[in-house]
Homo-oligomer: A and B are copies of this chain.
């Protein structure tokens, strides 16, 4: 199949540092190439891929100090895609709704994965307007605020199977991995460790917007003897950080549309203690790959539960449901379905006009 993947330009594909969307675009692209498809990747020029790369800008925009208006490059991106449409059987967009005015008028099949949270009232009139545009959700939960959209499938994210390896030793500490931001609730994670009398290690970055929250809420908690802040960890260090943990602590307080870190953890065989919120019940199998909790008391009890879980079975949950291979197969089914629908509607169009 001739497939175009259209990535945002904020980070390279894969990203040098953070960037959830661009990471997934990379995993999907490389897996589709591996499965023998002819893939064209539209992404920033510093991306690395086995697909054919078409780049509307040389550098990822978030790291380009000269860039003041990143939106502008996404407009040139869209026109570059438009010029190439005849070379594709399907176009897969990952750039939110930016391409809707163009893709609505395209004659070839296209699909858009929505990567972010969708509970903004501004989006309701938008998706009412573009109600025919086929969109894929990254969890069933993500769809809830937007019944107006033309949802055709939920495709969970996946990671390459060899990115992390299952490791089945005994955990030594609780792990927090992510950003120090109020909605991730690192203070819940720290409190849990202190209450349980178990060490916690926190691998996290502080965004500028969360600086005050970090200084006032988190920093004072880091002095406790059970608490260790290890700074940011690289992709490589993540394996060691996660595999030696009793559990990943994910006591979030926001409508998480997916939560990549949960599947990173189970890929290492490390169970997750997760607050019931957003996509959590879809990603974590309660009692198999972790525990889903709704209070600090439940979280405290769950520590003994997760210690008893079979870490090989935790990894098996990853292999079955969250590999990049499975993700690619799911998307190929979506592509097939859209190509068939489009060709049927083209046949109907010809019949009607004869």
Inter-chain contact B126/A100, CB cutoff 8 Å: no
- The answer for the CA separation of A185 and B100 in the assembled complex, in Å, is 42
**A126: chain B residues within 8 A (beta carbon):** 72-73, 75-76
Inter-chain contact A125/B56, CB cutoff 8 Å: yes
* Identical chains bound together, number: 2
Q: A201 → chain B, closest Cβ, in Å?
A: 34
Q: Mark A69-81, 1 if CB is under 8 A from B, else 0.
A: 1101101101100
Inter-chain contact B100/A75, CB cutoff 8 Å: yes
Residue of B nearest to A68 (CB): B120
Q: Does A105 sit within 8 A of B, measured CB to CB? A: yes
- The answer for the CA separation of A70 and B126 in the assembled complex, in Å, is 11
Inter-chain contact B129/A79, CB cutoff 8 Å: yes
Interface centre among A67, A78, A125, A130 (most CB of B within 10 A): A125
Q: Mark A50-73, 1 if CB is under 8 A from B, else 0.
A: 000000110000000011111011
Residue of B nearest to A78 (CB): B101
Q: How large is the interface on A (under 10, 10 to 19, 20 to 34, 35 or more residues)?
A: 20 to 34
- The answer for the CA separation of A120 and B65 in the assembled complex, in Å, is 11
- The answer for the CA separation of A129 and B102 in the assembled complex, in Å, is 15
Inter-chain contact B122/A72, CB cutoff 8 Å: yes
Inter-chain contact A72/B123, CB cutoff 8 Å: yes
Q: Does A88 sit within 8 A of B, measured CB to CB? A: no
- The answer for the CA separation of A97 and B102 in the assembled complex, in Å, is 14
Q: Does A225 sit within 8 A of B, measured CB to CB? A: no
Inter-chain contact B79/A122, CB cutoff 8 Å: no
A101-B101, A101-B102, A102-B101 known; A125-B79 Cβ under 8 A? no
Q: Which of B57, B73, B122 contacts A69 (CB under 8 A)?
A: B122
**A102: chain B residues within 8 A (beta carbon):** 101
Q: Does A220 sit within 8 A of B, measured CB to CB? A: no
**A122: chain B residues within 8 A (beta carbon):** 67-70, 72-73
Q: Which of B66, B75, B125 contacts A129 (CB under 8 A)?
A: B75
Q: Mark A240-252, 1 if CB is under 8 A from B, else 0.
A: 0000000000000
Known interface pairs A68-B120, A75-B126, A79-B101; 5 further A-B residue pairs with C-beta atoms within 8 A, sorted by A's residue number: A67-B121, A69-B122, A72-B97, A75-B97, A101-B102
Pairs across A and B, CB under 8 Å, 24 listed: A57-B125, A66-B121, A67-B121, A67-B122, A68-B121, A69-B120, A69-B123, A70-B122, A72-B120, A72-B122, A72-B123, A72-B125, A73-B122, A73-B125, A73-B126, A75-B97, A75-B100, A75-B101, A75-B129, A78-B101, A79-B129, A79-B130, A101-B101, A101-B102
